[in-house]
């Protein structure tokens, strides 16, 4: 295993577990589907466990889209109050810089993929979807909330995962969030979101309107000897893509946009009544941006040294 992969595993706290985690129990799955415990408890699912292989595939797919949103599906199983993501596959959808939607061709691809997987002995089911938010954090927009509500209505258990490839590149740690929505008749509680997030000013309204229609899940990552060879092989491709891409330019653009966004927020604070909490949030954003900028500079220096010495 390479030193860079070791660093990735340590940075994202990926735990080594036994191979039994990849075993799919069809009878247990049917029992859970029939009992549907999440119908009686809206917070039944409290966490998601993602394999290192699935995590790396999602990050690579998200980064391949650049500033365009991409989308894919996750396969796995339930494990008590957790949803286990064992693998993922990309969907052939056309996205924009602000949204991504599955079309008829994507659904046809999805059905064919699942049928082919069953034929080769992959019994896991689709347990969720993922998409990217390039540079503006991990949360669900209004469209995302509607999509997830429909998914939970017709094919539960189902979760939504959002990956930010720009912030991942900038900080060196995967920026990812997992969510489940409440049903349409669920009583929305007052107050703000349970966890503070750095949201760009032009996205705050969309975030604020819908942030109480879903809740976040705790996220953890795992690996085992089952996926070791595939993980090492995929990591080599990931490192090649990272070294060959113009990460420095992407990071500079991201940091510039972050500074510009903070400037707009400060201007808005001066023009409108604000609280101490509002100012503290901007300060938090500034600290986060400074750390990401330093990380980007260190990455650029390391990359320059590697190529100069080779």
* pLDDT tens digits along 77-91: 888 899 999 889 888
Distance from C-alpha of 122 to C-alpha of 26, rounded to nearest angstrom: 11
Of 238, 247, 234, the closest CA to residue 302 belongs to: 247
Rounded mean pLDDT, 154-174: 85
| pLDDT for the residue numbered 184 | 74
Q: Is the pLDDT of residue 161 over 90?
A: yes
State residue 261's pLDDT score: 63
The 8-class DSSP code of residue 156 comes to: -
Read off the pLDDT of each residue in 300-309 and give the average, rounded to a whole number.
60
Q: What is the C-alpha to C-alpha distance for residues 111 and 102, in angstroms, rounded to an integer? A: 13
**Both tokens of residue 136?**
């503006």
Min mean pLDDT across 2-11, 46-55, 171-180 is at 2-11
Q: For residues 228-243, b (16+ Cβ closer than 10 Å) or e, as one string?
A: eeebeebbeebeeeee
How high does pLDDT run on average in the chain? 76
pLDDT for residue 206 is more than 60: no
Q: Please write the tens of the pLDDT for every residue from 236-268.
A: 888 777 666 655 555 666 666 666 666 666 676
Distance CA 25, CA 38 (A): 19
Rounded to two decimals, what is the model's pTM?
A: 0.74
> Is residue 96 helix, strand or coil?
coil
Q: At what angle do helices 201-210 and 247-271 cross, to 10 degrees?
A: 70
**Residue 241, preceding bond cis, omega within 30 degrees?**
no
Helix (H) or strand (E) holding 267: helix 247-271
Question: What is the structure's pLDDT at 74?
Answer: 92
pLDDT at 163 over 80: yes
**171 compared with 303, residue with greater pLDDT:** 171
Q: How confident is the model at residue 3 (pLDDT cuts 50, 70, 90)?
A: confident
Residues 19-47 have a mean pLDDT of: 83
Distance CA 142, CA 99 (A): 10
- pLDDT for residue 4: 77
CA distances to 100, 259, 265, 286 from 174, in Å: 21, 21, 26, 19
The per-residue pLDDT for 10 is 86
């Amino acid at each position: 295993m390479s030193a860079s992969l070791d660093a990735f595993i340590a940075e994202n706290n990926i735990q080594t577990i036994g191979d039994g985690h990849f075993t799919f129990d069809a009878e247990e799955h049917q029992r859970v589907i029939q009992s549907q415990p999440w119908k009686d408890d809206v917070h039944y699912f409290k966490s998601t466990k993602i394999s290192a292989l699935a995590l790396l595939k999602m990050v690579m797919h998200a980064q391949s889209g650049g500033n365009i949103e991409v989308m894919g599906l996750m396969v796995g199983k339930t494990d008590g109050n957790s949803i286990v993501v064992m693998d993922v596959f990309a969907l052939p959808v056309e996205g924009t810089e602000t949204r991504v939607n599955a079309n008829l061709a994507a659904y046809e691809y999805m059905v064919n993929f699942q049928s082919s997987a069953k034929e080769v002995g992959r019994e896991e089911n689709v347990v969720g979807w993922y998409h990217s938010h390039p540079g503006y954090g991990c949360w669900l927009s209004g469209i995302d909330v509607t999509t997830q509500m429909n998914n939970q209505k017709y094919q539960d258990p189902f979760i939504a995962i959002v990956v930010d490839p720009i912030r991942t590149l900038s900080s060196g740690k995967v920026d990812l969030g997992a969510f489940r929505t409440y049903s349409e008749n669920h009583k929305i509680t007052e107050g703000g979101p349970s966890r503070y997030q750095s949201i760009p000013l032009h996205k705050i309204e969309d975030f604020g309107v819908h942030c109480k229609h879903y809740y976040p899940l705790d996220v953890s990552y795992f690996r085992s000897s089952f996926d070791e060879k595939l993980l090492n092989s995929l990591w080599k491709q990931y490192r090649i893509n990272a070294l060959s891409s113009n990460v420095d330019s992407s990071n500079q653009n991201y940091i510039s946009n972050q500074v510009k966004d903070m400037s707009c927020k400060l201007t808005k604070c001066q023009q409108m009544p604000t609280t101490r909490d509002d100012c503290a949030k901007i300060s938090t954003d500034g600290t986060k941006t400074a750390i990401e900028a330093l990380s980007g500079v260190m990455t650029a220096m390391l990359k320059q040294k590697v190529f100069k010495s080779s």
